[in-house]
């Protein structure tokens, strides 16, 4: 199996989070950190509703929401 290609510039660290995106999981904190870092942040998981709650207002160009992926 080949690893997926993730968006972002080469030479810039990529940070990942996998899991639920519901309130209380610290997604607000992750997005706050992403606003301070040049790293690319990839969030994988969440229901379509939870993903939309965070993704729609997010204006950070270094954050990518990938949605649910099978194990």
Tens of pLDDT, residue by residue over 28-52, are 999 999 999 988 999 999 999 999 9
Indicate whether 1 pLDDT > 70: no
Extents of the domains making up the chain: 14-60
Nearest-CA neighbor of 58 among 39, 37, 22, 34?
A: 34
Tens of pLDDT, residue by residue over 7-34, are 777 778 888 999 999 999 999 999 999 9
pTM: 0.84
> 3-state DSSP call for residue 51?
helix
């Amino acid at each position: 199996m080949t690893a997926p290609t993730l968006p972002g510039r080469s030479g810039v660290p990529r940070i990942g989070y996998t899991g639920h995106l519901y309130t209380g999981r610290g997604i607000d904190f992750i997005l706050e950190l992403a606003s301070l870092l040049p790293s690319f942040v990839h969030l994988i998981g969440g229901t379509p509703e939870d993903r939309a709650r965070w993704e729609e207002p997010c204006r950070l160009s270094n954050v990518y929401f990938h949605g649910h992926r099978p194990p």
